[in-house]
Structure 1
Amino acid sequence: MPVAITRQLSPSITRCELTHLEREAIDVERALAQHRRYEHTLEVLGYEVLSLPAEADLPDCVFVEDTAVVVDELAVITRPGAVSRRAETAAVAEVLAQRRPLVRIEAPGTLDGGDVLRVGRRVFVGLTGRTNEDGVAQLRGALAPFGYTVTVVAVEGCLHLKSAVTQVAPDTVLLNRAWVDSSTFAELETIDVDPAEPSAANTLMVDGAALVAAAYPRTAARLAKAGLLLVRLDMSELAKAEGALTCCSILLND
């Protein structure tokens, strides 16, 4: 059975890191309800959800994706670019060590999982304020023995690579061309976000369906027109913390 690793919402999420957004009040109870719905959706789609406990002194810990990059052969434990987030990796590494050999990104490298997009054996890594060239080089070294190619992607205007582009079908990505160089993905089919919804590119592909944020109906219509099965989720409170659909899980399709 495939596994989804998630993490509970920290009561201190209102002190989350922010880079591109102005701080807004987060309705914590509503955020909890949205996260529960997210986990339930993964269960309905066939995943065993392993929900790790939150820690009060780790405001961003619900965004578990950033702590690891997992492929079939191993798990790479990241070194997040935000110093306040580096302690988040310990609990995730403990769980992943039961399922994969571990490799760790070491200083001076930084790498956030949200900057890593894998499409088959192709791995795209965004250079952002959270991921540096040394982190990319270490990831490349860890994955190369298993036949993965790593391509560096320039990102601007958003937090992570996956803020700008995500996979929605086996050889198709959804992207915002204003935030990422679309020529990098020339070998793939591409669907553009609606111009009125620049933040709509983050989706989560799960078992033939694409989880999409309910806040972006125009982009969802484009995906539906392309024949994709959609599951719409309200992520509005987590979005205030610069979080999105991929951020809240690590999927192991064992």
Structure 2
Amino acid sequence: MAESLKKHETCFNGVVACLVRGIADNCSKDALRTSTNSVVDMKNAHTQNEEYLKLMRKLDLEIHEVPVDHNLPDCCFIEDTAVVQAGVAFICRPAMESRRPELSEVIKVLKSSLGVKIVEINDDDAIIEGGDVLFTGREFFVGLTSRTNMAGINQLSMAFPDYRVTPIEMSNDYLHLKSCTTMAGPDVVVIANSKDGISVKKQMMEKAVHVYRYLTIPDAKAANCLYINGTLIHCSQDEYPESYKVYQKEFPDCPKLTLPNSEFEKIDGAFTCRSILISSDCSLLS
């Protein structure tokens, strides 16, 4: 029990580093997106990304930058390439073949800079993206979406045998599980007030091995947040004023920081998409 609690706390309050990757020059034109009418202002996107990195430095995280590849328009969304917990880096397999070349440079940095154990998928039918993988510190919930299938979920389960891995059925309204739910702290789940969000909450409550606090957010895209070492990073007041009010009201004693994300939303990007957080249980950083 004590060891389990220690691992749980390390996940949220023992984050020491993050992997990030820059924005490809062809991101605006060629990045995958559900809305074909969206146009990314690249100057503003770079500004927002610099604010993101500045915040990570403010939180005293060691930043490991994977070299940007300007032939890979989605490479800044590094979360989809790997799931890193307990000293293990599970290498995902993106559903779109055009994104799979993103993996090689990420693996190099994970090996050379972090020294984690690399686990790769050995099932050709498996697809899984990190945006579908929600780790609560106690267990994994994984979205069954167009980007992740059961074969991929089974591979994740084999990579992390000490944790329960539970599939969550999703409609096509959301790209990933973390498009509508994330962790806002130890045992606190933020979830969108939407049809899918309600369904996800119901499934999690029925299948979870632990009891969580669930907080409903009025704006679906604002349900993606980050909690790092006691600080909650969430949507700005300008972009989602109603959801901003909920965060301020429900977390009165928690340090909070806000970030803009408008340009990345145009290509289905959220806060969690642009980094892989590394806890102190990774060998070279402990």
Give the TM-score category using the shorter length: over 0.9
- 8 Å CA contact retained: 1:105, 1:111: no
Q: Does 1:150 align with 2:172?
A: no
Amino acid corresponding to residue 7 of structure 1 in structure 2? R
- In structure 1, list runs of 5 or more residues that go unmatched: none
In structure 2, the residue matched to 1:175 is: 191
Query: One-letter code of the match for 1:217?
Result: P
Aligned to 2:271: 245
The answer to whether the Cα contact below 8 Å between 2:20 and 2:63 also exists between their aligned partners in 1 is yes
Which string of whole-angstrom CA distances, capped at 9 and with x for unpartnered residues, describes residues 28-48 of structure 1?
Answer: 111011101101100101101
Corresponding residue of 1:202? 224
Letter in 2 for 1:199: K
Counterpart in the other structure of 2:158: 141
- Give SS of 1:36's match: helix
Q: Quick one: distance in 1 between partners of 2:232 and 2:201? A: 21
Contact (CA 8 Å) 1:79, 1:105: kept in 2 or not?
yes
Report the structure, 1 or 2, having the larger helix content.
Answer: 2
Quote the residue 1:224 is aligned against. 248
Measure how far apart 1:100 and its partner are: 0.6
CA distance in 1, matches of 2:180, 2:170: 8
> Which residue identity is paired with 2:102?
E
Match of 2:146 among 129, 133, 152: 129
SS in 2 for 1:224: helix
Match of 1:13 among 1, 20, 27: 27
Larger C-alpha radius of gyration, 1 or 2?
2
- Superposed CA RMSD in Å reads 1.3
The separation in 1 between residues aligned to 2:148 and 2:226, in whole angstroms, is: 21
How many residue pairs end up in the alignment?
249
Match of 1:190 among 209, 214, 235: 214
Q: Distance in 2 between matches of 1:121 and 1:97?
A: 25
Letter in 1 for 2:142: V
Cα distance in 1, alignment partners of residues 99 and 235 from structure 2 = 25
Q: Which runs of 4+ in 1 moved over 2 A?
A: 184-187
- Write the deviation string for residues 110-131 of structure 1: whole angstroms up to 9, x where unpaired: 0100000001130000011110
Structure-2 residue corresponding to 1:22: 36
Structure 2, unaligned stretches of length 5 or more? 1-14, 206-210, 281-286
Using structure 1 for the length normalisation, give the TM-score. 0.94
Task: Give the C-alpha shift of residue 82 in structure 1.
Answer: 1.4
Q: What residue is the counterpart of 1:44 in the other structure?
A: 58
Partner of 1:101: 117
Give a deviation string over 1:89-118, Cα, whole Å, max 9, x none.
111111112321101124210010000000
Residue 60 of structure 1 corresponds to: 74
